[in-house]
């Protein structure tokens, strides 16, 4: 099975997407992101001991959550939920920058009226299937000031040694009143942020931060403080507090709240 998976990964993403739609077809579930009908949603997360020890939302294993076709998960659907009720989709033009674009969310955004979609990643070759993907270092983003109404950056900042510089760049490229949707794995045990930006030891990074290429594990309140320190008005969006029935139907994680950074109006 692993050998088959390795061979499949060599195929272009649109081809893999089509194959997965056939392989996992079923009438039991429909993915709200990619609109695929599938037999089951799969588990995701877990693996590193620190994720359970520190109660890491966005890291602890969740059963029956991951679309086997587009690989959309609870956090991706949380971003969709927020945008669908808070962004006035279809009412006015919206310029959206999607960092490290999740394929299911990309498909959903491309279906939305009046959304002008842009995507970027440090290793853009990984996302060559995404229309117009542009390589970028978030600490020196190649976009003019005040370029976007919305920036989506999920599970990226924990990889970046100078996260404060990246946050400042995200603020710079937002228009006044624009919003940054910023998710990372968050430890809820109250023990603060654990980080070592200079660490380059995959085994130790996995042990301390929960993944081999992470350089920190954020405390959520500390993350909000870092957002505010660069100039964001930062708050948490609670999907269950907004519409519990819809949040439950989307199988969102009740413990996961979405940090929203708004750029103050000029």
**CB under 8 Å to 154, separation ≥6 — which residues?**
75, 76, 79, 99, 100, 102, 181, 182, 183, 184
Q: What is the pLDDT of residue 16?
A: 81
Q: What is the pLDDT of residue 8?
A: 57
Q: What is the pLDDT of residue 64?
A: 95
Q: Give the separation between CA 247 and CA 85, rounded to whole angstroms.
A: 12
**Which residue is associated with the tokens 């200079």?**
198
- Beta pairing class for 216-219 and 94-99: unpaired
Q: What is the pLDDT of residue 60?
A: 95
Crossing angle between the packed helical segments 103-111 and 74-86, to the nearest 10 degrees: 20
Give 15-18 contacts, CB < 8 A, sequence gap 24+. 17/69, 17/70, 17/103
pTM of structure: 0.94
Instruction: Name the CATH code of domain 74-262 (choices 3.20.20.80, 3.40.50.300, 3.40.50.150, 3.40.50.720).
Output: 3.40.50.150
Q: What is the pLDDT of residue 71?
A: 94
**Which residue is associated with the tokens 């919003």?**
179
The burial of 9, by beta-carbon neighbours within 10 Å (0-12 exposed, 13-18 middle, 19 or more buried), is given as exposed
Q: Which two structure tokens, joined as six digits, stand for 63?
A: 């059963």
58 within 8 A of 74, measured Cβ to Cβ: no
Q: Give the separation between CA 146 and CA 11, rounded to whole angstroms.
A: 37
Per-residue pLDDT of the chain (266 residues; tens, 9 = 90+): 444 455 556 677 778 888 888 889 998 999 999 999 999 999 999 999 999 999 999 999 999 999 999 999 999 999 999 999 998 888 889 999 999 999 999 999 999 999 999 999 999 888 888 988 999 999 999 999 999 999 999 999 999 999 999 999 999 999 999 999 999 999 999 999 999 999 999 999 999 999 999 999 999 999 999 999 999 999 999 999 999 999 999 999 999 999 999 999 97
Q: Residue 74: how many CA atoms within 13 Å on its side-chain side?
A: 28
Residue extents of the structural domains in the chain = 74-262
**CB under 8 Å to 248, separation ≥6 — which residues?**
240
Q: Give the separation between CA 184 and CA 160, rounded to whole angstroms.
A: 12
Q: What is the pLDDT of residue 5?
A: 53
């Amino acid at each position: 099975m692993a050998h088959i998976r390795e061979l499949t990964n060599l195929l272009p993403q649109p081809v893999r997407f089509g194959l997965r739609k056939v392989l996992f077809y079923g009438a039991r579930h429909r993915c709200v992101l990619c609109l695929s009908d599938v037999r089951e949603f799969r588990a995701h997360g877990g693996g590193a001991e620190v994720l359970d020890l520190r109660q890491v939302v966005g890291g602890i294993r969740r059963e029956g959550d991951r679309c086997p076709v587009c690989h959309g998960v609870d956090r991706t659907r949380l971003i969709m939920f927020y945008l669908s009720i808070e962004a006035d989709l279809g009412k006015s033009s919206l310029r959206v920058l999607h960092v490290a674009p999740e394929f299911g969310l990309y498909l959903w955004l491309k279906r939305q009226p009046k959304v002008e979609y842009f995507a970027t990643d440090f290793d853009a070759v990984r996302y060559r299937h995404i229309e117009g993907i542009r390589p970028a270092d978030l600490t020196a983003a190649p976009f003019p000031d005040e370029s976007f109404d919305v920036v989506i950056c999920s599970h990226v900042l924990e990889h970046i040694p100078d996260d404060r510089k990246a946050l400042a760049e995200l603020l710079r490229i937002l228009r006044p009143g624009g919003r940054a949707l910023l998710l990372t794995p968050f430890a809820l045990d109250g023990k603060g942020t654990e980080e070592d930006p200079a660490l380059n030891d995959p085994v130790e990074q996995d042990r301390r931060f929960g993944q081999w290429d992470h350089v920190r594990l954020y405390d959520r309140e500390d993350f909000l403080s870092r957002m505010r320190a660069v100039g964001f008005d930062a708050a948490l969006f609670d999907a269950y507090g907004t519409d519990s029935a819809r949040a439950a139907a989307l199988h969102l994680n009740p413990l996961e709240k979405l940090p929203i950074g708004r750029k103050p109006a000029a």
